[in-house]
Structure 1
Amino acid sequence: MGVTTLDEKLLHRNNFHTSSTRSWEAVSGIGWHEPTPSGLPLAAIRTLSVVIPAHNVGYCLSAVLDALEGQHHRYRFEVIVVDDASTDTTATIAAQHPIVTTALRLPERAGAGTARNLGTAVARGQTVVYLDGDMVLPPHVITDIAARATDTTVLVGFRHNLPYDLHQGGRGVLAEHPHLAADHRVVWRPPVGRPLLYTGITLDQRLEGRPLDHTRDFLDLGYGQRYIDWDLPRMVVTALVAVPRAAVLDVGGFDPEFGRIGWGMEDTYLGACLIAAGLLIIPLRQAVGFHLDPPDAGQQWQHKLARWPATLARYRELMRRPALYGRSRTFMADMTELLHTCEVLR
């Protein structure tokens, strides 16, 4: 019998999370997708570490950290910022903001995956929340995650992109609540007449897809099933996602090669590894943050897309390899070595 590839492993994994969400609702007395009251008594609440990879986000990092400082979570949680060799004020902001418990600076740019790996290695929480350095959270989100997290679930949040001229570095319309439907995983209008990013299929008519609704909160994406261009690993987006730290260590964290090649796919690959390990992917519809675009968002996006084919090829190559397990010791050894090269800002 041949070695089972990661692709093949996913064909044998379901995403039947209904019993988990209903059990939590029965114990807590509130809905899975409802914002969590700050005083809700939950004995099983988990410790959290928020890990923020940061590269040239000086224009908005203060707003992101201010939002974390304003969380109504009643328990202490770590905030770890890993500066990916920024050339602006990112490192200074991370070093000085009072909510930050640990701030590290990589000696040279390595990519968000490596920055997240380093943050995960030094984290002490049972659950790691990966948060982009340009993602502003409403005050209930950390409690939403901590109250629902387990060692067998990946909790997925959503993002509402704001153009720079609307937020101006974290100001502007941030008093309003972000909208769930602004995320492409919720309302999706794919292009017509050109290949879609993941599957390469071409649509010949306009479509308003609703991946979240039409898959019943991702329930129907198990066993390798797709919703047009979407599958379950693709729902794991590190703008806002919470994962069990032990599970991330066991699969070896994010593949750092993606950051060296270009942009994207390292979170999708991590999602595939965690699903293969038996974890369930569960959305939190109330966990929606403002994703603050930089002043040159259009230019950055074009640069990212130009490098997309290479990272997609890397992803497909890894999916044809065996699933990884038992990588914790190697992962920690690699990160310890990397830590020795970093500047400790806080």
Structure 2
Amino acid sequence: MFFSVVVPTYNRLPILRQCLAALAAQDLSTAPGVDGYEVVVVDDGSTDQTVTVLRQATDPHLRLLQQNHGGAAMARNLGVMAARGNVIVFIDSDLVVVKGFLAAHARALQRHWRRHGNRLCFTYGAVINTSNFARPTTEPHKLTDLSWAYFATGNVAIDRQLLLRSGLFDPRFCQYGWEDLELGERLWKLGVALVRCPEAVGYHWHPPFQLRQIPQLIQQEKERARMALVFYRKHPTLRVRMIIQFTWLHLLLWQVLTLGGLLNARTMTPLLAALVRWERPGWALELLRLHLNRICVQTIFAEARQQRRQAPQPS
């Protein structure tokens, strides 16, 4: 087994340095079936010093690929096509992993391959969210870190040939969200098993929430809504409608939870500001998510209506 760790990145140099340092320090001694690994960083048109710094890097595992800014789906596809390994690991460039990260993925994959006699699986490691830039790996596991997503590329490992068979990522997902879960839907239809691998821990760093991030977060939710419809048009099933929250039940849910929209970014600003002052930015962000989820679901319905109006009418 030889790993290719594919890491798309865009203007994240400070945390990318920590991500790559953690990958350079991997200990494979507890996974005797692993021959080695490479780290394929795909720069998605960064405008900071990412490319300059990586070109000067001395880590023998590191390879740099570049593309014009086209999104994570295109970047991951480029990384997979250039990969030398027979197993692909996807992580984000703001993930800092433990020393036994690759070894844990290897052991879990090999156990499943032996037990089932095929490679129809992928391993899904633990992702712990943190805002601690100096020491991200000290963050404890929290209830909010649990994820029920089937295929989220923040921390997964999968056989490369199986990935190629699935068709890779759809480049139409050029904005924020859903490109990994859409690929996951195709893997699910192929009967690919999810194997949880809690020992493969990655610490997902993000800056502490601040009020000035609200416009960006709102824009992100609108992009996520548009990409959700791309997902649904490819897989027009009730299962996908539930995943993307494209149901009247979800629309009603977020209306109720936001008191018909009375709880929004403007009306909650004093409370959000107080929580930030009290050093509870995580609480502030979770409260704001009520408003953000309402925006996302409303945008999905609005975009769907707009697309129906613009669709050619039968002659």
Q: How high is the TM-score relative to the length of structure 1? A: 0.59
- Say which one has the larger Rg: 2
Kept after mapping to 1: 8 A contact 2:136/2:205:
no
CA 1:118–1:180: 2 relative to 1, 3 Å: farther
SS at match of 1:77: strand
What is the distance in 1 between the residues matched to 2:37 and 2:96?
A: 17
Alignment pair present for 1:119 and 2:99: no
Deviation at 1:157, TM superposition (A): 1.5
Shift of residue 271, structure 1, vs aligned partner: 0.8
Q: 2:221 aligns with which of 280, 283, 305?
A: 305
CA distance in 1, matches of 2:43, 2:102: 22
2:52 to 85, 92, 115: 92
Per-residue CA deviations over 1:235-283 (Å, capped at 9, x if unaligned) read: 2111111111111111220001011xx2110000111111111210111
For residue 71 of structure 1, the aligned residue among 26, 37, 47 is 26
* CA-CA distance at 1:310 after TM superposition: 0.7
Aligned partners of 1:158 and 1:94: how far apart in 2? 27
2:2 equivalent to 1:47: yes
Residue 96 of structure 1 and its aligned partner are, at CA, apart by 2.8
1:52–1:81 Cα contact (<8 Å) kept = yes
Identity of counterpart residues, as a percentage?
30
1:161 aligns with 2:129: yes
Counterpart in the other structure of 2:93: 133
Q: How does 1:283-322 map to 2 (within 5 A)?
A: 283-294=196-207, 298-299=213-214, 300-320=216-236
Maintained 8 Å contact 1:178/1:289:
no
Alignment match, 1:265:
178
The gaps in structure 2 that reach 5 residues or longer are: 30-34, 114-118, 238-315
Q: Whole-Å Cα distance in 1 between the matches of residues 27 and 122 of structure 2?
A: 22
C-alpha displacement of 1:60: 0.8
Relative to structure 1, the CA distance from residue 288 to residue 306 in structure 2 (aligned partners, 3 Å threshold; closer, same or farther) is same
Show the counterpart of 1:16: none
Report the Cα offset of residue 94 of structure 1: 2.7
Partner in structure 1 of residue 136 of structure 2? 174
2:189 maps to which of 276, 281, 297: 276
Q: Name whichever structure is richer in helix by fraction.
A: 2
> Number of aligned pairs?
220
Q: Using the TM superposition, give the Cα deviation of residue 294 of structure 1 relative to its aligned residue in structure 2, in angstroms.
A: 4.3
Quick one: distance in 1 between partners of 2:76 and 2:91? Answer: 9
Is structure 2 residue 41 aligned with structure 1 residue 81?
yes
CA distance in 1, matches of 2:161, 2:46: 29
Measure how far apart 1:287 and its partner are: 2.0
* 2:10–2:46 CA contact under 8 A, matched in 1: yes
Which ranges in structure 1 are unaligned for 5 or more consecutive residues? 1-45, 186-210, 212-233, 322-346
- Which aligned pairs between 1:213-252 and structure 2 lie closer than 5 A? 234-252=149-167
Q: Deviations over 1:39-93 (max 9, x none)?
A: xxxxxxx221100001111121110000011111144201000000001122223
* Corresponding letter in the other structure for 2:205: L
Structure 1 residues 104 and 311: CA distance shift in structure 2, 3 A:
same
Q: What SS is found at the alignment partner of 1:253? A: coil
C-alpha distance in 1, partners of 2:152/2:54?
23
